[in-house]
Amino acid sequence: MPKPPAGLIEFLYAYAPATQSLALGARALVLSELAPCHEYIFRMRSKVVLLYGPTERVIADAICSLGVFARHVTLTFHRGARLRDRSRVLRGSGKIMRHVTLKSLADLDDAALRKLLREARREAGVKRPRTASPDAVVTRIKTTPPARRPTPGWDLFGFSDDPTR
Protein backbone atom coordinates (compact mmCIF):
# COMPACT_ATOMS: atom_id res chain seq x y z
CA MET A 1 0.00 0.00 0.00
CA PRO A 2 1.43 3.40 -0.92
CA LYS A 3 2.42 5.65 1.92
CA PRO A 4 -0.04 8.55 2.26
CA PRO A 5 1.38 11.76 0.79
CA ALA A 6 2.56 14.42 3.21
CA GLY A 7 -0.05 16.88 1.89
CA LEU A 8 -2.87 14.51 2.77
CA ILE A 9 -1.47 13.99 6.27
CA GLU A 10 -1.30 17.76 6.66
CA PHE A 11 -4.94 18.16 5.55
CA LEU A 12 -6.08 15.41 7.96
CA TYR A 13 -4.19 16.88 10.91
CA ALA A 14 -7.22 19.00 11.88
CA TYR A 15 -9.43 15.90 12.33
CA ALA A 16 -9.77 13.56 15.31
CA PRO A 17 -7.48 10.50 15.25
CA ALA A 18 -10.44 8.16 14.64
CA THR A 19 -11.48 10.15 11.56
CA GLN A 20 -7.89 10.27 10.32
CA SER A 21 -7.63 6.46 10.58
CA LEU A 22 -10.97 6.01 8.87
CA ALA A 23 -9.96 8.31 6.00
CA LEU A 24 -6.64 6.54 5.47
CA GLY A 25 -8.34 3.14 5.68
CA ALA A 26 -10.96 4.18 3.12
CA ARG A 27 -8.18 5.47 0.85
CA ALA A 28 -6.39 2.11 1.13
CA LEU A 29 -9.62 0.28 0.25
CA VAL A 30 -10.24 2.43 -2.83
CA LEU A 31 -6.66 2.11 -4.05
CA SER A 32 -6.70 -1.65 -3.57
CA GLU A 33 -9.64 -1.90 -6.00
CA LEU A 34 -8.99 0.93 -8.46
CA ALA A 35 -5.19 1.08 -8.86
CA PRO A 36 -3.65 1.94 -11.20
CA CYS A 37 -5.49 5.24 -11.09
CA HIS A 38 -5.15 8.98 -10.63
CA GLU A 39 -5.87 10.61 -7.28
CA TYR A 40 -6.61 14.30 -6.74
CA ILE A 41 -6.66 15.63 -3.17
CA PHE A 42 -7.92 19.04 -2.10
CA ARG A 43 -9.60 20.89 0.73
CA MET A 44 -13.10 22.21 0.09
CA ARG A 45 -14.84 24.30 2.72
CA SER A 46 -15.26 22.05 5.78
CA LYS A 47 -14.01 18.80 4.25
CA VAL A 48 -11.10 17.15 2.52
CA VAL A 49 -11.91 15.53 -0.84
CA LEU A 50 -10.05 12.68 -2.52
CA LEU A 51 -11.12 12.06 -6.15
CA TYR A 52 -10.25 8.88 -8.06
CA GLY A 53 -10.34 8.36 -11.82
CA PRO A 54 -8.65 6.48 -14.65
CA THR A 55 -7.07 9.52 -16.31
CA GLU A 56 -5.38 12.75 -15.28
CA ARG A 57 -8.76 14.45 -15.87
CA VAL A 58 -9.89 13.18 -12.48
CA ILE A 59 -12.66 15.72 -11.96
CA ALA A 60 -14.33 14.98 -15.31
CA ASP A 61 -13.68 11.22 -15.32
CA ALA A 62 -14.16 10.48 -11.61
CA ILE A 63 -15.20 6.97 -10.67
CA CYS A 64 -15.55 7.68 -6.96
CA SER A 65 -14.48 10.10 -4.26
CA LEU A 66 -13.96 10.24 -0.53
CA GLY A 67 -15.23 13.17 1.50
CA VAL A 68 -13.66 13.49 4.96
CA PHE A 69 -15.94 15.19 7.47
CA ALA A 70 -15.54 15.76 11.23
CA ARG A 71 -17.17 12.47 12.32
CA HIS A 72 -17.39 10.33 9.19
CA VAL A 73 -16.09 9.65 5.71
CA THR A 74 -18.38 9.50 2.69
CA LEU A 75 -17.58 7.21 -0.24
CA THR A 76 -19.38 8.67 -3.26
CA PHE A 77 -19.89 6.82 -6.53
CA HIS A 78 -20.13 9.38 -9.30
CA ARG A 79 -22.25 7.10 -11.49
CA GLY A 80 -23.77 5.25 -8.55
CA ALA A 81 -27.33 5.21 -9.88
CA ARG A 82 -26.17 2.71 -12.53
CA LEU A 83 -24.69 0.28 -10.00
CA ARG A 84 -26.50 -2.87 -8.87
CA ASP A 85 -26.71 -2.50 -5.11
CA ARG A 86 -27.81 -5.93 -3.94
CA SER A 87 -26.76 -5.22 -0.34
CA ARG A 88 -28.71 -1.94 -0.22
CA VAL A 89 -25.80 0.07 1.19
CA LEU A 90 -25.98 2.98 -1.26
CA ARG A 91 -27.86 6.11 -0.24
CA GLY A 92 -29.15 8.99 -2.33
CA SER A 93 -32.01 9.68 -4.69
CA GLY A 94 -30.41 11.78 -7.41
CA LYS A 95 -30.21 10.87 -11.10
CA ILE A 96 -26.49 10.04 -11.07
CA MET A 97 -24.64 9.86 -7.73
CA ARG A 98 -24.96 7.55 -4.74
CA HIS A 99 -22.93 7.41 -1.52
CA VAL A 100 -22.07 5.28 1.50
CA THR A 101 -21.40 6.86 4.90
CA LEU A 102 -18.52 5.25 6.78
CA LYS A 103 -18.50 5.87 10.52
CA SER A 104 -16.01 3.28 11.82
CA LEU A 105 -13.13 1.14 10.61
CA ALA A 106 -15.43 -1.90 10.83
CA ASP A 107 -17.52 -0.41 8.00
CA LEU A 108 -14.54 -0.88 5.67
CA ASP A 109 -14.73 -4.67 6.09
CA ASP A 110 -18.09 -4.86 4.30
CA ALA A 111 -17.61 -7.00 1.17
CA ALA A 112 -20.36 -4.98 -0.55
CA LEU A 113 -18.02 -1.96 -0.73
CA ARG A 114 -15.39 -3.93 -2.67
CA LYS A 115 -18.08 -5.26 -5.02
CA LEU A 116 -19.39 -1.74 -5.64
CA LEU A 117 -15.88 -0.40 -6.30
CA ARG A 118 -15.20 -3.19 -8.80
CA GLU A 119 -18.52 -2.64 -10.53
CA ALA A 120 -17.93 1.14 -10.65
CA ARG A 121 -14.54 0.51 -12.28
CA ARG A 122 -16.14 -1.77 -14.89
CA GLU A 123 -18.99 0.71 -15.45
CA ALA A 124 -16.39 3.39 -16.20
CA GLY A 125 -14.91 1.08 -18.86
CA VAL A 126 -11.63 0.58 -17.02
CA LYS A 127 -9.96 -2.82 -17.18
CA ARG A 128 -7.61 -3.63 -14.36
CA PRO A 129 -4.28 -5.20 -15.36
CA ARG A 130 -3.53 -8.59 -13.81
CA THR A 131 -0.37 -7.20 -12.28
CA ALA A 132 -2.08 -4.14 -10.80
CA SER A 133 -0.48 -2.82 -7.67
CA PRO A 134 -2.00 -0.37 -5.18
CA ASP A 135 1.31 1.49 -5.45
CA ALA A 136 0.52 2.43 -9.08
CA VAL A 137 -1.24 5.68 -8.29
CA VAL A 138 -0.55 9.18 -9.57
CA THR A 139 -1.35 11.67 -6.82
CA ARG A 140 -1.86 15.41 -7.22
CA ILE A 141 -2.55 17.67 -4.27
CA LYS A 142 -4.11 21.09 -4.62
CA THR A 143 -2.70 23.28 -1.92
CA THR A 144 -4.74 26.23 -0.80
CA PRO A 145 -3.49 29.55 -2.17
CA PRO A 146 -2.33 32.21 0.27
CA ALA A 147 -5.03 34.53 1.57
CA ARG A 148 -5.66 37.49 -0.70
CA ARG A 149 -5.19 40.92 0.72
CA PRO A 150 -7.75 43.59 -0.02
CA THR A 151 -6.77 46.11 -2.66
CA PRO A 152 -5.61 49.40 -1.09
CA GLY A 153 -8.47 51.85 -0.85
CA TRP A 154 -11.09 49.08 -0.56
CA ASP A 155 -12.27 47.38 2.58
CA LEU A 156 -13.09 43.68 2.98
CA PHE A 157 -16.67 44.20 1.81
CA GLY A 158 -15.74 45.93 -1.45
CA PHE A 159 -16.53 49.48 -0.35
CA SER A 160 -14.16 52.25 -1.33
CA ASP A 161 -12.56 54.55 1.21
CA ASP A 162 -12.63 57.30 -1.41
CA PRO A 163 -16.18 58.77 -1.81
CA THR A 164 -15.44 59.78 -5.43
CA ARG A 165 -15.11 56.13 -6.57
Q: Which residues of 27-65 are buried (b: 16+ CB within 10 A; e: fewer)?
A: bebbbebbbbbbbbbbbeeebbbbbbbbeeebeebbbbb
* CATH for 6-142 (3.40.1130, 1.10.3470, 3.30.1490, 3.90.1150): 3.90.1150
Distance CA 25, CA 108 (A): 7
- The residue ranges of every structural domain in the chain are 6-142
Residues 103-125: tens digit of each pLDDT: 999 999 999 999 999 999 988 88
Predicted confidence (pLDDT) at residue 151 exceeds the cutoff of 60: no
Residues 12-47: tens digit of each pLDDT: 999 999 999 999 999 999 999 998 899 999 998 889
Closest CA to 106 of 22, 2, 7: 22
Predicted confidence (pLDDT) at residue 85 exceeds the cutoff of 90: no
Lowest-confidence region among 15-29, 119-133, 143-157 = 143-157
